[in-house]
Amino acid sequence: MSIKVKPMGVYQTNCYIVTEDGKDFIIDPGVGATKWVLENVKNPVAILNTHGHFDHVWSNDELQKKLNIPLYTPRGDVMLLGESSWMPDLPPSTPDVEVEPNQEFDFEGVKVKFHHFPGHCPGCSMIEIGDAMFSGDFIFERSIGRTDFPYSSPDDMKDSLRRFKKLDFDKALYPGHGNTTTIRQEQQYADYWIESM
């Protein structure tokens, strides 16, 4: 597996290109991501959103049209793709697939699973591909996603952290902002975040 990453926009949102078995998956194409993505893909097959916040989905529509590939967005966040109270000029996008909680897909032998961990927003998910987990704004290195935004839920975040703590496997964890970490590394902080909310 090959993973390319580039922080995009003023919020430095990580856009990932994951190449597995010759297939390129574009994860969270944020503000200004199109040029970089087009320069770095050879066989793009899908755009995957961890969640629907504007800084993760800004270039969805442009890349859908330029690459003619499907967009996969967690069902709970589809309403965020058409409007943003923070960014009224967000280019709207429409997913080809509204992903159900914990749904798994098979792209000709490459398995992609959306692990649903709401709290930061209703559809917030971590995307598992091979030995990597792309955590969006659910988990960061020694931090978690905010729960004071519209559609956020501290109670849902607590429940998600309790379930995250029980994951019985370790993988590299690639967050929506900041540095790469691991599931095991971040599990040790879950109780702290639960008690802090």
Structure-token pair, residue 118: 């709401």
Structure-token pair, residue 117: 């961990």
Q: Is 108 exposed, middle or buried (0-12, 13-18, 19+ CB in 10 A)?
A: exposed
pTM over 0.75: yes
- Cα dihedral angle (32, 35, 37, 39), rounded to 10 degrees? -160
Domain ranges, ordered by start, for the chain: 2-196
C-alpha 79/C-alpha 70 separation (Å) is 18
Statement: 2-196 belongs to CATH 3.60.15.10: yes
What's the confidence (pLDDT) of residue 177? 98
112 bridge partner residues: 105, 129
pLDDT tens across the length of the chain (197 residues): 999 999 999 999 999 999 999 999 999 999 999 999 999 999 999 999 999 999 999 999 999 999 999 999 999 999 999 876 667 789 999 999 999 999 999 999 999 999 999 999 999 999 999 999 999 999 999 999 999 999 999 999 999 999 999 999 999 999 999 999 999 999 999 999 999 98
Q: Which residues contact 166 (CB under 8 A, 6 or more apart)?
A: none
